Amino acid sequence: MNNMKIIALDNIKEIGKEVNAKLNKLRNTNKNYMLNITSSRFSNGEGKVKIEDSVREKDIYLLADVGNYGITYNMHGFTHHMAPDEHFQDIKRTISAISGYKEKITLIMPLLYQSRQHKRKGRESADCAIALQELQNLGVDHIITFDAHDPTISNAIPNLPFENFYPTNTILEDLLTKEDLEDILVISPDMGATERARYFAEMLDTNVGVFYKRRDLTKVVNGKNPIIEHTYMGPSVEGKDILIVDDMIASGTSMLEVGERLKKEGARKVYFIATFSLFTEGIEEFDKAYQNNYFDKLYTTNLSYIPEEYKEKDWLYTVNCSESIAKIINALHEKESLKPLFNGKEKILTLRKEKNL
């Protein structure tokens, strides 16, 4: 079949180019699978998307990074950084522009839009569910995401294929190859990330611990109850190499506090692992914590935007997941099972054996 095409929005252009190259390698071809697209903004902030190539009867794979705050435009004379809401609106614009012409459209949104607003508490909006239903109503045929904050959000669209991939295998491959690890212990920084930590522990055949965040329920700061203390539950951390695992880092305050605590309790090394590193408060506190030896390295992915100057930091390692996306696209287009892409334990077992872990 020759009708496979990729649309990469401006917020994910670099990954789009890498996926295009990986697809050519996988398929032993020399083609440009990318479709040209023009995104423009009026001076009042309103946007427009135009597809420059034919999409008739094409199997479309739309790539978008709603977390890319590095995209800017001029609005009313000011430089404005695009927010997730605007990126999501551009996704909808693109889908609308190709509606009625395409054969099928698969949306690949690594950072799921509004994933942290996945359930209602009292009189508040369930934004992630509403967004998924909007996409379904616009004619999306398949949704692919990575490390969703709560995968059960797929229940909002029970009749639409929804695949949630974890980059665990790719991260562990790089971690085991590059780091000198010894006695490993996986720790969840809070109760919500326990399942994720357990999966890492099972891949490494090791134990798991967890921190419980005791919060002040009488106060709300930046939309959350402030943390009073972290209470650790699990095996001794003394002399161990610790992997602290979570889906995303926002400000990173909680992760840094846990790292400091573990180092003071005798941990040999502390590695942070997060699929998405948003750095919402910048990286100054990470720099300070690294200088104080509260952690040894942060392993994250390129699935959402990270400024180039951040990538130059000694403590940050970015795992490239472009090949994983290319494999997913190729499997879907060829109507092959996605199951092999979910399971990479054999390679991890081989690496563990080589490292005597």
- 258-309 pLDDT, tens digit each: 999 999 999 999 999 999 999 999 999 999 999 999 999 999 999 999 999 9
Residue 289 sits in the same domain as residue 179: yes
Rg (CA), the chain: 21
For residues 49-54, give the mean pLDDT: 91
291 and 217, same structural domain? yes
Residue 346 lies in a domain: no
Q: In the chain, what percentage of residues exceed pLDDT 70?
A: 96
Judging by beta carbons within 10 Å of its beta carbon (0-12, 13-18, 19+), is residue 227 exposed, middle or buried? middle
Query: Can you give the pLDDT at residue 2?
Result: 72
Q: Where is pLDDT greater, at 2 or 212?
A: 212
Residue 161: per-residue pLDDT: 95
pLDDT in the model for residue 135: 96
Which residues lie closer than 8 Å to 7 by C-beta, 6 or more apart? 34, 35, 37, 51, 60, 61, 62, 63, 94, 98
Clarify whether residues 188 and 122 are in a common domain: no
pTM: 0.91
3-class SS at 253? helix
136 and 265 fall within a common domain: no
Average pLDDT over residues 15-25: 97
**Average pLDDT, integer, range 331-338:** 92
Both 92 and 220 in one domain: the answer is no
* Domain total in the chain: 2
Distant-in-sequence contacts of 146-149, Cβ < 8 A, 24+ apart: 146/110, 146/111, 146/112, 146/275, 146/301, 146/303, 146/321, 147/196, 147/247, 147/248, 147/275, 147/276, 148/112, 148/115, 148/247, 149/112, 149/115, 149/116, 149/118, 149/247, 149/248
